[in-house]
């Protein structure tokens, strides 16, 4: 049973205790091999603040918290509080440690601009994606974006996500929301693995950062005009899958007891998936130790903690590059640590040990094209002990036929390499589609699940990627206007009602359609489908590549069983 606790009790656990036993642990979008994408997509949500010695009189832009006061700024219809610390800087002896309480200060601090992002990796190729201008280990900050005028006593829900344009759209709909985005540690800084890490009970501190930020929201969002008991959350770091997988992880922690921290979840391109055991990550720990000259240290973990930042991040970069080059799997990700993640997520789902809350979940059509010889790759990186019979079945399910590969529905076009489209189809289904379908089928038996499928080809996209991972982000974040805001409107109504459908008197185009729950048909589960040309939508069914995805889920469960997870 998860025990409720106030913020002063949160953070580093007591020796010998797991998450469920903590007297006080309360634990932002992230995840699997896709942390490889998160490193250049996650939130830049921090601020190096300056003390104001003569604070301004109380105003809509001033918020007083128990550990200090912050001055935000007005921006049109919004008030923005940027760079508020929700935990102490994880530097020095706090490197690799769970989050602890923010440092108290006097006076008023400016909270009007973003600051450094958490340490992240440089992409191996140039991509048309934003890069943070500043990076620092001192990065545990969050942002609060709210409507300017909140009527007294109005219950305004909170969306735990990134983006400001969605708040403006919520005002247009007459369904205002408050947005909160939080930075959290990633790669080796947040998900260091190995036997030493397990012994110190320091696995998955990135997840602990997220949980800590959620508890901060519950404790303090009332100061910004929100009602915490109507809180909903979605940890989607710019729509990246890692954030959606974080939503899944928080739905599974404490065997699904969310301790009132959230009331709904949105998982775009991510769901509960198979995770490695923390001890199986030892080789990555050993590589990192060697690259930082800590091999001969009496306490290798302490040596890593004391290593200069530049040396450590360079070693993390080298280790990640080597692991990805060898097999395409990212070395730093959530793990089964026996402490806060007590079993593999796929087992928890099948045991029914996840939060009973409304869920929106879906994928882009060509999820695997961002990560793409086939059978040897599958065996060495995903199914180490696969039988010859299962390997043959996998070969049949994903044939060496470019017309059946991803990007789908493109015939013989975009054959980037002989196995590219085949591998893209396999990875997209294994990492995203099959796990989403499995979770939706199980969860929809007891709670509302709203599925979607995104098939719109981005106008400024890369042709050989198709409707790639993250293509749906502009739709749901109200970043484009030619789509009729259908995705954004659905998200806003889901935040308010746990249901993405619009009322008949809404200005939204959603009022002309119906988003059915996934469980409305067991044979043909409906998916609300975004198609070209925008703002067109229709209904497709979650029955594509049925046999292939059943096989992938079966193989994943076999892999879990072999390692006792």
Q: Kindly state the average pLDDT of the residues 264-288.
A: 88
The pLDDT of residue 325 is above 60:
no
Inform me whether the pLDDT recorded for 84 exceeds 90.
yes
Residue 245, in any domain of the structure: yes
Whether residue 21 is contained in a domain is answered as yes
Contact 165, 478 (CB under 8 A): yes
d(CA 449, CA 136): 38
Structural domain for 515, as ranges: 358-562
Specify whether 275 is located in the same domain as 417. no
Is 283 found in the same domain as 367?
no
Tokens of 54: 């003569």
- 509-533 pLDDT, tens per residue? 999 999 999 998 889 999 999 999 9
414 included as an active-site residue: no
Last residue of a domain, which of 307, 327, 347? 327
Q: Are residues 299 and 376 in the same domain?
A: no
Domain assignment present for residue 1? The answer is no
Query: What pLDDT does 176 receive?
Result: 82
In this prediction, residue 422 carries a pLDDT of 84
Asked if residue 381 and residue 249 are part of one domain, the reply reads no
529 plus 482 within the same structural domain? yes
- What CATH number did the domain enclosing 362 receive? 3.40.50.1820
**Known active-site residue 102:** no
Return the closest-CA partner of residue 562 out of 394, 426, 386.
386
Alpha-carbon distance of 238 to 43, in angstroms, equals 7
Of 286, 312, 327, the last residue of a domain is 327
User: What is the pLDDT averaged over residues 321-333?
Assistant: 64
Give the integer Cα–Cα distance in Å for 161 and 472.
15
Q: Are residues 273 and 382 in the same domain?
A: no
Query: What is the DSSP secondary-structure string of 123-187?
Result: PSS--S----S-B-S---EEEEEEES---TT----EEES--SHHHHHHHHTT---EEEEE----H
pLDDT at 438 over 80: yes
Does residue 334 fall inside a structural domain? no
**What does the DSSP 8-state code read for residue 397?**
H
Report the alpha-carbon angle 410-476-77, nearest 5.
150
Q: Which of 367, 424, 444, 471 is catalytic?
A: 367
At residue 391, φ and ψ (nearest 5 deg) are: -65, -40
- List the Cα angle 192/187/306 in 5-degree steps: 60
Q: Show which of 275, 305, 327 is a domain's final residue.
A: 327
Q: Is residue 11 part of a domain?
A: yes
Q: Which range has the worst mean pLDDT, 44-48, 311-315, 534-538?
A: 44-48
In a domain, 338, yes or no: no
Say whether both 293 and 158 belong to one domain. Answer: yes
DSSP string, 422-476: HHHHHHHIIIIIHHHHHHHHHHTTTS-EEEEEE-PPPTTS-GGG-SBTTTTHHHH
* pLDDT for res 231: 45
Point out the catalytic residue in the list 469, 471, 475, 556: 469
Domain count of the fold of the chain:
2
Based on the fold, state whether residues 286 and 184 are members of the same structural domain. yes
In this structure, are 282 and 413 located in the same domain?
no
More confidently predicted of 128 and 138: 138
pLDDT above 50 (res 400): yes
* Whether 309 and 388 share a structural domain: no
**Pick from 17-21, 131-135, 200-204, 427-431: least confident:** 17-21
Both 46 and 191 in one domain: the answer is yes
Q: Is there a domain that residue 424 lies in?
A: yes
Spell out the residues 6+ positions from residue 250 whose beta carbon is closer than 8 angstroms to its own.
Answer: 27, 207, 210, 211, 214, 233, 235, 258, 261, 262, 265, 355
Q: Among this protein's residues, is 170 annotated catalytic?
A: no
Examine residue 348 and state whether it is found in any structural domain, yes or no: no
Which one, of 333, 314, 374, lies nearest residue 207 by Cα? Answer: 333
Asked if residue 282 and residue 154 are part of one domain, the reply reads yes
């Amino acid at each position: 049973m998860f025990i409720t606790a106030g913020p002063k009790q949160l953070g580093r656990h007591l020796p010998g205790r797991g998450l469920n036993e903590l007297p006080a642990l309360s634990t932002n979008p992230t995840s699997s091999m896709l942390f490889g994408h998160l490193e250049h997509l996650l939130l830049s949500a921090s601020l190096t603040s300056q003390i104001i010695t003569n604070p301004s009189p109380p105003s809509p832009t001033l918020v007083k918290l128990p550990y200090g006061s912050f001055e935000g700024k007005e921006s049109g219809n919004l008030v923005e509080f940027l760079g508020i610390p929700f935990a102490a800087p994880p530097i020095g002896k706090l490197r690799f440690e769970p989050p602890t309480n923010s440092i108290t200060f006097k006076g008023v601090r400016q909270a009007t601009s973003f600051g450094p992002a958490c340490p992240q990796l440089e992409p191996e190729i140039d991509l048309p994606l934003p890069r943070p201008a500043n990076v620092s280990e001192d990065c545990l900050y969050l942002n609060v974006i709210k409507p300017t005028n909140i009527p007294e006593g109005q219950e305004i829900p909170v969306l735990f996500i990134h983006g400001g344009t969605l708040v403006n759209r919520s005002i247009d709909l007459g369904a205002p929301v408050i947005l909160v985005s939080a930075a959290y540690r990633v790669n080796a800084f947040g998900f260091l693995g190995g036997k030493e890490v397990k012994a110190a009970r320091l696995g998955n501190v990135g997840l602990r950062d997220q949980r800590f930020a959620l508890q901060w929201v519950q404790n303090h969002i009332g100061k910004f005009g929100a009602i915490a008991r109507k809180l909903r959350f979605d940890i989607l770091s710019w729509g990246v899958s890692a954030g959606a997988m974080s939503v899944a992880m928080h739905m599974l922690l404490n065997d699904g007891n969310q301790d009132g921290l959230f009331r709904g979840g949105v998982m775009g391109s991510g769901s509960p998936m198979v995770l490695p055991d923390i001890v199986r990550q030892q080789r990555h720990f050993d590589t990192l130790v060697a690259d930082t000259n800590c091999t001969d240290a009496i306490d290798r973990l302490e040596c890593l903690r004391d290593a200069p930042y530049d040396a450590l991040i360079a070693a993390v970069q080298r280790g990640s590059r080597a692991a990805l080059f060898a097999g395409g799997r990212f070395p730093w990700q959530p793990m089964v640590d026996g402490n806060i993640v007590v079993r593999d997520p796929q087992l928890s789902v099948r045991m029914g040990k996840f939060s009973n809350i409304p869920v929106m979940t879906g994928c882009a059509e060509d999820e695997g094209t961002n990560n793409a010889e086939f059978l040897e790759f599958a065996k060495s990186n995903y199914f180490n002990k696969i039988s010859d019979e299962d390997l043959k079945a996998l070969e049949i399910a994903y044939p060496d036929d470019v017309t059946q590969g991803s990007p789908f529905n493109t015939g013989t076009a975009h054959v980037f390499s002989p196995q590219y489209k085949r591998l893209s189809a396999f990875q997209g289904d294994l990492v995203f589609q099959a796990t989403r379908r499995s979770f939706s089928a199980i969860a929809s038996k007891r709670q509302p699940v709203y599925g979607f499928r995104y098939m719109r080809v981005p106008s400024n996209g890369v042709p050989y990627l198709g409707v790639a991972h993250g293509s749906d982000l502009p739709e749901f974040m109200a970043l484009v206007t030619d789509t009729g805001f259908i995705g954004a409107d659905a998200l806003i109504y889901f935040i308010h009602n746990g249901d993405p459908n619009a009322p008949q008197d809404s200005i939204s185009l959603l009022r002309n359609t119906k988003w059915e729950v996934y469980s409305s048909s067991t044979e043909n589960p409906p998916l609300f489908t975004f198609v070209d040309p925008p703002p067109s939508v229709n209904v497709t069914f979650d029955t594509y590549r049925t046999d292939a995805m059943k096989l992938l889920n079966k193989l994943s469960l076999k892999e879990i069983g072999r390692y006792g997870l």
